[in-house]
Structure 1
Amino acid sequence: MKHQKIFLLLSLLFLFSFNEIKIKDSLVKAQIGKMPIFSNVVYTGNDDIYKNNPLKSDEFYTPILQGCYPDPAITRKGDDYYMVCSSFAMFPGVPIFHSKDLVNWTDLGGVLNKVSEFNPHDTGISQGVYAPGITYNPHNDTFYMIVTAFTGGMGNIIVKTKDPMKGWGSPIKLDFNGIDPCIFFDDNGKGYIVHNDAPDKGKELYEGHRVIKVWEYDLANDKVIPGSDKIIVDGGVDLSKKPIWIEAPHLYKKDGRYYLMCAEGGTGDNHSEVVFVSDSPKGPFKPASNNPILTQRYFPQDRPEKVDWAGHADLVLGPDNKYYGVFLGIRPNDKNRVNMGRETFMLPVDWSGVFPVFENGLVPLKPKMKMPNGVIENKTGKDGFFPNGNFTFTENFTSEKLDYRWIGLRGPRENFISVTKSGLEIKPFAVNIKEVKPTSTLFYRQQHNNFSFTSTLDYKPSSEKDLAGIVCMQSERFNYVFGITKKGKDTYIILERTEKGESKVIASAKIEINKNIRLQVKATGDSYQFSYALNGVDFENLGGSVSGDILSTNVAGGFTGALVGLYATSTNDAYAE
């Protein structure tokens, strides 16, 4: 009898524990079910400049990389071209592209894609990593990517690979200060690094006074040779005129002489590209008499189809044995604000004389150019090549390998996303978009002044701390949040504007979601509209037309362009009113 009682008691305890586990499991599944799932994202660009300038069969558009892809650097091995850009706190770091003809480019993702080796988790959006250089060394059949990292005490680092298609080695920390490094290999195999730095202590003459330094590089041990550094440019082309921000240096060798090409004038309205020549990589360097060789600073501010801020360039020999230059520039909107950020442009370069000159680089830049001789077809936006001009990008999240255009901020996207049968599920971090931490937001660069970004969202928030939707972001201190949250027992859609870190809900509406909701942000120049559709078709505007001022570098500052993101958080502080 005693044994029967014990058996009965144990059975009851087992049943209770089993049911408790089932209840907990159900609660966990219920919680998982409440995670936001995004599907059917459509980005459409519709800029007048492309409508007004249709392409002929032998033409392509510049910028070649639209949106925030600044500070381009380029190299060549045989028929293969590789180009890298700045990424700041976006992840992965240093976007890299491949081409066979300088027209059609394939996105290879990011060079710095291991968070254990590059971790910008605590940096502002305009820090992280920027101004890379990329160089192929034929003497050891190795590619080198060198860059300045503003995170984790890394400073200037270099990574290597035999094949950029197969990934890169671990970062090697280099022992010098300054920014904008680039590595050069001479005909005899000897290596040199040039970079921007401050003048020697006590020798700074004015605000913005910088110098260019050169170091000899030890290829066997991957380090600069101590004591080999030398200032090769002081201030810029003409120190008596107090030039500012000589930076982004690149060394080249042609016809036995050494050419140093740099940006000068700062990255705004006065930006330009200048060049120097020497008989030695360590100088002395003499400036060209016709500097600058590229700039847009001389023209009326109200010119049509304006491209501005041109500079920060690199040169490469094209497939037609002619030189081409890649450089950054901006295309402001109707209010002369820079929302897309600095983009990557291209021009042919005439190097038939002593110095290289960007063809049409000293007249207002045009939106298209001739393809290099021998290039048969412009395939941009087709067959896996990066799109160009006006285009529509549709993402249904049906492929396990997500398009590289989707990026994280301060950390990998893989930390918070999973592809399900229903779409892309985002696991909300306990982090707000306004914090300087990795956020659970999948970002896409704004690539047009006139665009729409629409997504279908399946989501039922549990509390006012839960929010999911779309964010338009210039930085952690300047952004719009457009999302679904809770107030009491009711579901609300809200639009919040954050300027200088101060947030205000500018509109909210009580809604009932039966299945899912479609969210849309649409920009016409500086005018942004946020809308939602409960039946999937009929969009209702929330908050009217709002200014894109806070999404511009003019107002927000920094070096990035606007990002549009699929956002989720479990620490929402934007409450419905």
Structure 2
Amino acid sequence: MSNITRRTLFKALAAGAVVSPLPLLSEARPPASECGPITPRWGKGIEGQRKADLGDGTYLNPIVAGDHPDPTILKDGDDYYMTFSSFYSYPGLVIWHSTDLVNWAPIGAALRKQLGTIWAVDLCKHGDRYYIYLPANPDDKRWSIYAIWADDIRGPWSEPVDLKIFDCIDPGHVVGEDGKRYLFVNGIRRIRLTDDGLATDGALEPAYSPWRYPDDWIVENFAPEGPKLLRHNDWFYLITAVGGTAGPPTGHMVIAARSRSVHGPWEHCPHNPLVRTLSASEPWWSRGHASLVEGPAGDWWMVYHAYENGFRTLGRQTLLEPIEWTSDGWFRAKGGDLSKPIRKPAKGKTSSAGFALSDDFSTDRFGIQWAFHDPSSDEMKRVVRTGNALKLAAVGTSPADSSPLAFIVPDRAYQVEVTLELDSDAEGGLLLFYNHKAFVGVGFARDTIKTFQYAEEQVWGRVPIANRRVRVRLTNDQHIVTYEYSHDDGRSWRLHPTRMEVSGLHHNVFGGFLSLKVGVYSAGSGGVVLRDLRYRVIERS
């Protein structure tokens, strides 16, 4: 292949040249010594997706792989629930369930009303009712904090209630020693809530001046954020993130303070920071935004997020680390080297983990797998389900001005294929999508194959076709992306002539705190029918 020029290959493909299916890079690659470190040995979950539980009483982080940042966790009897920032994805705020803190599976989305981007939220229970406090930025105009509630964690969830706490993010709910309810927010500031938790009862006021790290530490910025509160042994503990969320790998960190009263005064933990990446050689970067939770056996754990070394494209993933309470009434993290397995929480009943990403489109998987990126309020009207197919009505002229349908990927190397059938003058394609300014992929119009790179079509790369039904395959092997397509339902494949390298499609380049998702778009007029999407992991030794 290396001896074929681009022009020659384009001519061959335009003439209908057929190539053999591409070998996976795990079948034809240099020795491990030339490829850097050997991939850690995770467990194998559904479809071969990486799984934290190793099946021998230990686990290897992450506990929830792929883009699941700003985890907020709730212990509810023997059950644990967690949700994450969902940003521009709708349906959003997918709630996950576990009984052992290691194996997690989604149960459904709590938010369906479009509120713009959704950042770090707080999931809590007060009395018999569940609440999620969420910062949102409708129409990119002004941040406010909203509340949704449910009498059953599985829903239905209420419509959002605007608490009119403006220009704040990262709420953390706590009940004070006075029995009153409070939200702490970035800053770190505090505001009292009414007893029902659905309105404010007082003014926003300063609550705590966080511990400062030395000026010569390599961080992004101070940025005190993500306050999470816990009452334990007559102390209130305030766990906070400082140092910036992304930027340098050593920036983000976890600090703590405590007080006898929710009103303070707060004393800094003498062991701060409790969690911090110290070197870019570590497996997890930018570790922070932590919550504490009691395990099934009464021991204690810390849940937080981090970027995977070399794979910022996957977004911030959820990690679990054991802690211990010390004789002075503080706590410390004791996970050690996170590249190695850790003993699972004791006495937890193993629950299901993950879910299949392959989809035959026979059931509704919106809010579990699928979500629109930055949709309009009536985006779901674009979707029509017919048998084992999903028709996606066309919007916009290309991926740059449409709302793709996308899902989060958990693995470093994977392959996705799907059948697209074009209706009317629609075009559709398969993408790796970060946002409207950062995506790659291939599109199929009535008579043309289009190549999208650097978030725009490379017009010089158009290839003529004459087929309204195509099966397209995308292989992302550790940032190296290859495309193939078939007009006989996968019996033979044509190689698309452009491979791409996508390691730079992440927050530190494009902002937004997002991840590189697999997406499908439908543009023009008419629609695109999707059939038989298959996901599989590329195995490595």
Shift of 1:87: 0.7
Q: Which residue of 2 aligns with 1:494?
A: 450
SS of the residue 2:441 aligns to: strand
- Give the Cα separation in 2 of the matches to 1:192 and 1:45: 53
SS of the residue 2:462 aligns to: strand
SS of the residue 1:339 aligns to: strand
- 1:375 correspondence with 2:348: yes
Shift of 1:287: 0.9
- Give the Cα separation in 1 of the matches to 2:86 and 2:387: 31
2:302 paired residue among 310, 325, 341: 325
- 1:293 correspondence with 2:269: no
1:130 paired residue among 98, 119, 129: 119
The answer as to whether partners of 2:132 and 2:147 remain within 8 angstroms in 1 is yes
Q: CA-to-partner distance for each residue in 1:356-407, whole Å, 9 max, x for gaps?
A: 22222xx442264322212354642xxxxx25xxxx6321112245571111
Q: Which residue of 2 aligns with 1:476?
A: 436
| Percent of residue pairs identical | 21
The answer as to whether partners of 1:508 and 1:542 remain within 8 angstroms in 2 is no
2:317 paired residue among 340, 343, 347: 343
Shift of 1:556: 2.1
1:193 paired residue among 183, 196, 200: 183
The answer as to whether partners of 2:145 and 2:165 remain within 8 angstroms in 1 is yes
Q: 1:145 to 1:355 in 2, by over 3 A?
A: same
Q: Which residue of 1 aligns with 2:149?
A: 160
Q: CA-to-partner distance for each residue in 1:51-91, whole Å, 9 max, x for gaps?
A: 47782422334212211111100112211211110011110
Query: 1:531-570 alignment to 2 at 5 Å?
Result: 531-535=484-488, 536-570=490-524
- 1:214 correspondence with 2:214: no
1:425 paired residue among 358, 376, 391: 391
Report the TM-score when normalising by structure 2: 0.80
Shift of 1:240: 7.7
Q: 1:240 to 1:78 in 2, by over 3 A?
A: same
Q: CA-to-partner distance for each residue in 1:280-321, whole Å, 9 max, x for gaps?
A: 11111111111111111x12x245xx2111101111111111
Q: Which residue of 1 aligns with 2:239?
A: 261
Query: 1:269-418 alignment to 2 at 5 Å?
Result: 269=249, 270-296=251-277, 298-299=278-279, 301-303=280-282, 306-332=283-309, 336=310, 338-353=312-327, 354-360=329-335, 363-366=336-339, 368-377=341-350, 379-380=352-353, 386-387=354-355, 393-400=357-364, 404-411=368-375, 414-418=380-384
SS of the residue 1:96 aligns to: strand
- Give the Cα separation in 2 of the matches to 1:350 and 1:284: 24
Q: 1:403 to 1:194 in 2, by over 3 A?
A: closer
SS of the residue 2:39 aligns to: helix
- Give the Cα separation in 1 of the matches to 2:189 and 2:216: 20
Stretches of structure 1 lacking an aligned partner (at least 5 in a row) = 1-43, 121-127, 197-210, 381-385, 573-577
- Give the Cα separation in 2 of the matches to 1:355 and 1:540: 61
Shift of 1:566: 1.7
Q: 1:447 to 1:193 in 2, by over 3 A?
A: same
Query: 1:513-528 alignment to 2 at 5 Å?
Result: 513=467, 516-528=469-481
Q: Which residue of 2 aligns with 1:10?
A: none
Q: Which residue of 2 aligns with 1:49?
A: 39
- Give the Cα separation in 1 of the matches to 2:312 and 2:83: 22
- Give the Cα separation in 1 of the matches to 2:438 and 2:306: 22
The answer as to whether partners of 2:405 and 2:521 remain within 8 angstroms in 1 is yes
Shift of 1:352: 4.0
Amino acid aligned to 1:173: D
Q: CA-to-partner distance for each residue in 1:228-270, whole Å, 9 max, x for gaps?
A: x432223543598897011100111111111110001001221
- Give the Cα separation in 1 of the matches to 2:460 and 2:503: 15
SS of the residue 1:224 aligns to: coil
Q: 1:147 to 1:505 in 2, by over 3 A?
A: same
Q: 1:76 to 1:186 in 2, by over 3 A?
A: farther
Shift of 1:154: 6.0
Shift of 1:422: 4.7
Amino acid aligned to 2:482: Q
Amino acid aligned to 2:66: G
Q: 1:213 to 1:539 in 2, by over 3 A?
A: same
SS of the residue 2:107 aligns to: strand
Q: Which residue of 2 aligns with 1:19?
A: none
Amino acid aligned to 2:393: K
Report the TM-score when normalising by structure 1: 0.75
Q: CA-to-partner distance for each residue in 1:518-568, whole Å, 9 max, x for gaps?
A: 111111212111111223133322133211045222332220001111211
Q: Which residue of 1 aligns with 2:539?
A: none
1:252 paired residue among 211, 230, 245: 230
Query: 1:7-156 alignment to 2 at 5 Å?
Result: 49-51=39-41, 55-113=54-112, 115=113, 118-120=114-116, 128-137=117-126, 140-152=127-139, 153=142, 155-156=144-145
Moved more, 397-406 or 423-432: 397-406
Stretches of structure 2 lacking an aligned partner (at least 5 in a row) = 1-23, 27-36, 45-53, 527-541
Q: Which residue of 2 aligns with 1:11?
A: none
- Give the Cα separation in 2 of the matches to 1:328 and 1:239: 23
SS of the residue 1:146 aligns to: strand
Amino acid aligned to 1:323: W
- Give the Cα separation in 1 of the matches to 2:64 and 2:197: 35
Shift of 1:431: 5.4
Q: 1:52 to 1:221 in 2, by over 3 A?
A: closer
Q: Which residue of 2 aligns with 1:383?
A: none
Amino acid aligned to 1:560: L
- Give the Cα separation in 1 of the matches to 2:106 and 2:119: 18
- Give the Cα separation in 1 of the matches to 2:199 and 2:366: 36
Amino acid aligned to 1:87: S
- Give the Cα separation in 1 of the matches to 2:504 and 2:423: 29
The answer as to whether partners of 1:70 and 1:328 remain within 8 angstroms in 2 is yes
Q: CA-to-partner distance for each residue in 1:86-138, whole Å, 9 max, x for gaps?
A: 0111102222112222233231222211x3xx343xxxxxxx1110011112x
Shift of 1:50: 4.7
Q: Which residue of 1 aligns with 2:15?
A: none
Q: 1:215 to 1:119 in 2, by over 3 A?
A: closer
The answer as to whether partners of 1:230 and 1:282 remain within 8 angstroms in 2 is no
The answer as to whether partners of 1:247 and 1:262 remain within 8 angstroms in 2 is yes
- Give the Cα separation in 2 of the matches to 1:401 and 1:295: 37
SS of the residue 1:414 aligns to: helix
